[in-house]
Amino acid sequence: MHICLNEFIVFISHGLSVTTIRTTCSVISLDRLAVYEGMISFEKTSVRRFSDKQQPHIMTKTKFLLTLTACCSIIGNNYAQVKSKDGAIIAARPPMGWMTWNYFADKISEKDIKEMADAMVSSGMRSAGYEYVFIDDGWQGGRDNRNNMIPDPQKFPSGIKALADYVHNKGLKLGIYSDAAPLTCAGYTASLGFEDQDAKIFASWGIDYLKYDYCGAPNDVETAKERYKKMADALHNSGRDIALGVCEWGERKPWQWAANAGGQLWRTTGDVRDKWKRRVTEKYGEGIMDIIDANKHLASYAGPGKWNDMDMLVVGLYGKKGPSGDLGGTGCTNVEYQSQMSLWCMMASPLAATNDLRNMNAETKRILLNKEVIDISQDELGQQAIVKIDNELTTIWLRTLKNGDHALAILNRSDTSQNIQCIFETLGLTGNFSIKDLWAHKLIGKGRRWKGNVKTHETKVFRLKAI
């Protein structure tokens, strides 16, 4: 993991290779450094400080500890974690659930959402870890004579509180949507100027998550910071723990400021479409590969309570007309859907399915319900996978897990199948490992390398355990 903050760059390899902390005029070399929730441990073999003229001398232990303390202070100030009322980190793991937008757009109703909540339980989605039902744009019915936001009475005749109670009784959580402007992306009532009032209303309904969009807002970053912080503060003061999803599409580099503004996750790209990648003739519409490439070098900004959001899963949509079918979204193969699931999990993105949970085929269930891949997503250490090899044909990621295992993902970017060899030592791993294929659900070997055929656009995911 590398973190670039002001004058400090911190490289952390979790014992896999030499770790370095650099300041403007010093370099500290360690064989092992671990950072977890503000705690630092190290095994020192040599600690040297170099002046601008590169004249080395051994640092004292005091100077060394002061340097580490300074680094931790900077990290803490730039990567705030919002705590719940009981002191726990909000969204300590990437949120998982189902979102209304790609399937229903703004044509939603409480009947549809109840049916999807029922299906989350009956299909095994809840048992696999999906816990949120996210209501996207289109639920709003304006404001009442006290300026309280109200739901559309035709779509939600029982009200949002009754729906939240229904969802909670299923062992699930409810998310809702608004926008940091007068109107939402689809033209409905939004929250600008009513942040405190809306946050209290959401809390009174039992809302657990707010997706906060940015349509109709100014382009500059300072206004975005102010508007997101205002809503984050309002949620914090609402009397209920409500996670905040920052959705300004990555245009203002929210990974650099959204955590400090009070967000738990932030979109890193424009909206996903149901396609593998943007075609050369297309100017707009993010495909799976476009999002992967935009997100793959942002690992240093992710961790418990602060996630790079790669947008919704399109698994199982198969080119359905609607938002995900716009701008070239003509559908993907099951292999490509599997790659999306694999790499969203490897890169610790929130997982929001958007297909019809009431009517899933066997392949869609196989992909969305792979508990071994989901375990990578939800690993308590919260480390986004790091790119180790990246070229025109192949991208390889490695992710360290809390128990010391490593998750390895190998993507065939090309349009033909490839025979690929991965030597673990080139990734910084030494020794022998047992190798478990998480899509085949079986141990496939032991050793210091993996070699095999990877289909076009396929991602292999392995769990490596030192032996």
> Tokens 């009754």 identify what position?
162
Name the pLDDT band for 80 (thresholds 50, 70, 90): low
- Give yes or no for residue 361 having a pLDDT over 70: yes
H or E element, residue 115: helix 110-122
CA 364, 369, 373, 379 dihedral sign is positive
408, 374, 383: which is closest to 394 by C-alpha?
Answer: 408
- The predicted-structure confidence for 248-279, as pLDDT tens digits, reads as follows 999 999 999 999 999 999 999 999 999 999 99
**What are all long-range contacts of 292-297, with beta carbons under 8 Å and residues at least 24 apart?**
292/343, 292/347, 292/395, 292/411, 294/250, 294/268, 294/269, 295/268, 295/269, 295/347, 295/349, 296/347, 296/387, 296/390, 296/395, 296/397, 297/387
Name the pLDDT band for 139 (thresholds 50, 70, 90): very high
Look at residue 26 in the predicted model and tell me its pLDDT.
32
**What domains can be seen in the chain, in order of their start residue?**
2-78 (no CATH), 96-377 (3.20.20.70), 386-466 (2.60.40.1180)
Q: Which residues contact 81 (CB under 8 A, 6 or more apart)?
A: 89, 90, 259, 304, 305, 306
Q: Could you tell me the two tokens for 422?
A: 């991965």
- Give yes or no for residue 443 having a pLDDT over 70: yes
One-letter amino acid for residue 175 of the chain: G
**What are all long-range contacts of 69-75, with beta carbons under 8 Å and residues at least 24 apart?**
70/8, 71/8, 71/10, 71/21, 72/35, 72/38, 72/40, 74/5, 74/6, 74/8, 75/3, 75/5, 75/10, 75/35
**Chain centroid, CA 298 distance in Å:** 11
- The predicted-structure confidence for 204-223, as pLDDT tens digits, reads as follows 999 999 999 999 999 999 99
271 or 15, higher pLDDT = 271
- Give yes or no for residue 69 having a pLDDT over 60: no
- Give yes or no for residue 19 having a pLDDT over 50: no
DSSP assignments along 158-196, one per residue: T-HHHHHHHHHHTT-EEEEEEESSSB-TTS-B--TT-HH
**In contact, 394 and 451? CB cutoff 8 Å:** no
Look at residue 333 in the predicted model and tell me its pLDDT.
98
- The predicted-structure confidence for 168-197, as pLDDT tens digits, reads as follows 999 999 999 999 999 999 999 999 999 999
- Give yes or no for residue 355 having a pLDDT over 50: yes
- Give yes or no for residue 425 having a pLDDT over 60: yes
Percent of the chain with pLDDT over 70: 83
Bridge partner residues of 235 (DSSP): none
CA 337, 343, 344, 346 dihedral sign is positive
**Distance in angstroms (rounded) separating the CA atoms of residues 119 and 260:** 36
Look at residue 81 in the predicted model and tell me its pLDDT.
62
As a whole number, mean pLDDT of residues 314-338 equals 97
One-letter amino acid for residue 3 of the chain: I
- Phi/psi class of residue 12: alpha, beta or left (left: φ > 0; alpha: ψ in -120 to 50)? beta
As a whole number, mean pLDDT of residues 328-353 equals 98
367, 235, 305: which is closest to 95 by C-alpha?
Answer: 305
Catalytic residues: 213, 271
Percent of the chain with pLDDT over 90: 81
61 or 400, higher pLDDT = 400
**Distance in angstroms (rounded) separating the CA atoms of residues 95 and 49:** 42
Q: Give the pTM.
A: 0.84
- The predicted-structure confidence for 96-134, as pLDDT tens digits, reads as follows 999 999 999 999 999 999 999 999 999 999 999 999 999
Look at residue 86 in the predicted model and tell me its pLDDT.
78
As a whole number, mean pLDDT of residues 379-394 equals 98
Q: Could you tell me the two tokens for 101?
A: 């937008």
**Distance in angstroms (rounded) separating the CA atoms of residues 324 and 273:** 4
Look at residue 452 in the predicted model and tell me its pLDDT.
98
**Average pLDDT of every residue of the chain:** 87
217, 215, 228, 237: which is closest to 262 by C-alpha?
Answer: 228
